Amino acid sequence: MSFASLKKSSGSSFASLNKAIEKLSTTGSKVDERFWKPEMDKSGNGYAVIRFLPEKDTDLPWAQVWSHAFQGPGGWYIENSLTTLGQKDPVGELNRQLWNSGIDADKEVARKQKRKLSYYSNIYVVKDPMNPQNEGKVFLYKYGKKIHDKIVTAAQPQFEDETPINPFDFWKGADFKIKITKVAGFWNYDKSEFSAPGTLGGFSDAELEEIYNQEHSLKDFVDPSNFKSYEELEARLGMVLNKKQTRAVVEDEQDEELFARETVTSAAPSGFGSAVESFSQESDEPDLSYFEDLAAEL
């Protein structure tokens, strides 16, 4: 563009610049309205009542996704793992080599890079004191091992005087009281519990069907087409660890700040809240089966 043309288009180019900035600000901070998450009050505690909803377009009432979130010399690695699909994953392969090296420092690196399992379910919000406008609505809810263990325990109780329930059943399920405290800086869900079984809200079948029809699809979370390829993940891992790539090249490198606040979107079309935040809210428990697999022969 010549200088004369530049001067002539100065007004229009400024308008274009503003449009580009607005687009960046809206896409970069867009919140996925399908998702619900609990919030802490001023005292540092969290409380809400939800109802897990039954499956609609999947075999199970939840989708489960393995993912990694860790920082290396070249930035953040925040990606869903191909082990979700039963496939080999570059981080898993690297961690296996580190674990089997026999060097304690290598094992510590593998621990820091371990995968984490997240679950996604449809829920109905019964009570949300921090955001009452959410009450009576259907959302997607991302949760971790602690809450999933409580679901499993409700369905398969340990003691004979306890009656098993299906937490996802409209009629014979139970509301789930989320009680959050902070323990050692992490969100702790130990006090969360199920209420007595009963029909959701005392609603009629017609009302329950209306709620059922509002449920969100869980298929996208485990759709192979929404996962990055092994080569793409390997390239990203190489950049994060500052290793030379031989099999793939990342075309659009993004800076560390973006990855630090990037949402985990590999297995779903839009935002999940901060991936780093989700990894830090709940205390990580050892994935023993994962480390047992790492000890297997290469």
- Name the phi and psi angles at 179, rounded to 5: -125, 115
Q: Write the burial class of residue 125 (CB in 10 Å: 0-12 exposed, 13-18 middle, 19+ buried).
A: buried
Which one-letter DSSP state was computed for residue 282? B
Alpha-carbon 83 to chain mean position: 15
**CATH no. for 34-294:** 3.90.198.10
Tokens describing residue 127: 């009570």
The predicted model gives 168-183 an average pLDDT of: 96
Q: In this predicted model, what pLDDT tens digit does every residue of 107-145 receive, in sequence order?
A: 999 999 999 999 999 999 999 999 999 999 999 999 999
More confident residue, 258 or 21: 21
The CA distance from 72 to 93, in Å, is 17
Tokens describing residue 268: 């779903």
Tokens describing residue 126: 């019964």
pLDDT for residue 268 is more than 60 = no
Most confident among 239-243, 258-262, 269-273 (mean pLDDT): 239-243
More confident residue, 162 or 267: 162
Sign of the CA dihedral 154, 223, 89, 114?
negative
Alpha-carbon 128 to chain mean position: 21
Q: In this predicted model, what pLDDT tens digit does every residue of 187-234 receive, in sequence order?
A: 999 999 999 999 999 999 999 999 999 999 999 999 999 999 999 999
Decide if 117 contacts 66 (C-beta within 8 A). yes
pLDDT for residue 4 is more than 60 = yes
Residue with tokens 């809810």: 141
The predicted model gives 274-297 an average pLDDT of: 49
272 pLDDT band, cuts 50/70/90, is: very low
Q: Write the burial class of residue 134 (CB in 10 Å: 0-12 exposed, 13-18 middle, 19+ buried).
A: middle
> Can you give the pLDDT at residue 12?
62
> Can you give the pLDDT at residue 185?
86
The predicted model gives 146-151 an average pLDDT of: 96
267 pLDDT band, cuts 50/70/90, is: very low
Mean pLDDT of the chain: 82
pLDDT for residue 181 is more than 60 = yes
Burial 267-281 (b: 16+ CB within 10 A, else e): bbeebbebbbebbeb
The SS3 call for residue 13 is helix
Decide if 165 contacts 136 (C-beta within 8 A). no
Residue with tokens 């790492």: 294
Regarding pTM above 0.85, the answer is no
What percent of the chain clears pLDDT 90, i.e. is strictly above it? 67
Q: Where do the domains of the chain lie?
A: 34-294
Residue with tokens 């001023």: 42
Which one-letter DSSP state was computed for residue 53? P
243 pLDDT band, cuts 50/70/90, is: confident
Helix and strand numbers (H, E) in the chain are: 10, 9
Quickly list H helices, the chain.
Answer: 3-8, 10-28, 90-99, 104-112, 145-155, 205-212, 230-240, 256-261, 275-281, 288-294
The CA distance from 69 to 79, in Å, is 7
What percent of the chain clears pLDDT 70, i.e. is strictly above it? 71
- Look at 8-17, 22-31, 281-290 and tell me which has the smallest mean pLDDT: 281-290
Tokens describing residue 113: 């890079």
pLDDT for residue 80 is more than 90 = yes
> Can you give the pLDDT at residue 292?
55
The CA distance from 23 to 18, in Å, is 9
DSSP code string of 125-179: EEE-TT-GGGTT-EEEEEE-HHHHHHHHHHHS-SSTTS----TT-TTT---EEEE
Decide if 67 contacts 272 (C-beta within 8 A). no
> Can you give the pLDDT at residue 155?
96
